[in-house]
């Protein structure tokens, strides 16, 4: 497999309390706290591993602070778009200062380049046209989907349907964590 997608150490936070006002104990709550009213976001470490190399700079403040919902939406869109005639898809990093991730498809090959973002992030010259298989990507994405839904289902069954729906429809690209 030329690509794998993994997650680790998922957590949530109370969106009704501003980040500056959250106590240290409220900053990273176990996903058992997920609810429709207060704890709606999942963060954690997301690793996209291409030919043994971990895609860098995905976390907001640290490697374990990736907005999982945002990337679920972006990866779902990527699979959908690259199944069509469109051969290029760019994912903005999600926050100011983060780079963009540009995917070019040629046949069954996908090439990832980390490029300058519209939000001010700079590209990475060591991550230009890194090749992997679209077939492998679809398989890795399906494993990731199954694994994360199993994790949510075991920790917070009441939120499983809501998170399953994130994989089924294209969501607003303006949604942020």
**For the chain, domain boundaries:** 3-159
- pLDDT (0 to 100) of residue 160: 94
Question: Which CA distances in Å does 50 have to 2, 99, 127?
Answer: 6, 18, 11
pLDDT of residue 171: 46
CA 122 → CA 18, 65, 91, distances in Å? 28, 19, 14
Q: Dihedral of CA 78/79/81/85: which sign?
A: positive
Tens-digit pLDDT profile for residues 158-173 = 999 999 999 885 444 4
Q: What is the pLDDT of residue 23?
A: 87
pLDDT digits (tens, 9 = 90+) for 105-162: 999 999 999 999 998 889 999 999 999 999 999 999 999 999 999 999 999 999 999 9
Task: Look at residue 173 in the predicted model and tell me its pLDDT.
Answer: 40
SS3 145: helix
Q: Among all chains, which residue has been given the structure tokens 């009213």?
A: 37
Phi, psi of 122 (to 5 degrees): -100, 145
User: Does the predicted model carry a pTM greater than 0.75?
Assistant: yes
> Mind listing the pLDDT tens digit for each residue in 22-62?
888 888 999 999 988 888 899 999 999 999 999 999 888 88
Q: What is the pLDDT of residues 64-83, one digit of tens each?
A: 999 999 999 999 999 999 99
Q: Which residues pair with 102 in a beta bridge?
A: 90, 113
- Classify burial at 33, counting beta carbons within 10 Å of its beta carbon; exposed 0-12, middle 13-18, buried 19 or more: middle
Cβ–Cβ < 8 Å for 31, 160:
no
Structure token digits, residue 124: 């990475």
């Amino acid at each position: 497999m030329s690509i794998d997608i993994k997650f680790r150490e998922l957590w949530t936070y109370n969106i009704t309390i501003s980040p500056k006002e959250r106590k240290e104990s409220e900053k990273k709550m176990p996903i058992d706290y997920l609810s429709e009213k207060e704890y709606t976001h999942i963060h954690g470490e997301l690793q996209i591993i291409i030919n043994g190399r971990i895609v860098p700079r995905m976390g907001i403040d640290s490697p374990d602070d990736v907005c999982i919902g945002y990337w679920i939406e972006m990866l779902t869109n990527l699979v959908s778009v690259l199944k069509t005639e469109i051969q290029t898809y760019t994912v903005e990093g999600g926050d100011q200062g983060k780079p963009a991730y540009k995917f070019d498809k040629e046949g069954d090959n996908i090439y990832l380049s980390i490029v300058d973002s519209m939000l001010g992030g700079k590209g990475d010259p060591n991550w230009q046209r890194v090749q992997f298989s679209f077939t492998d990507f679809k398989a890795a994405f399906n494993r990731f989907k199954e694994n994360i839904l199993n994790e949510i289902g075991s920790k917070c069954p009441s939120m499983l349907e809501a998170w399953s729906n994130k994989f089924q429809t294209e969501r607003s690209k303006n949604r942020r964590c």
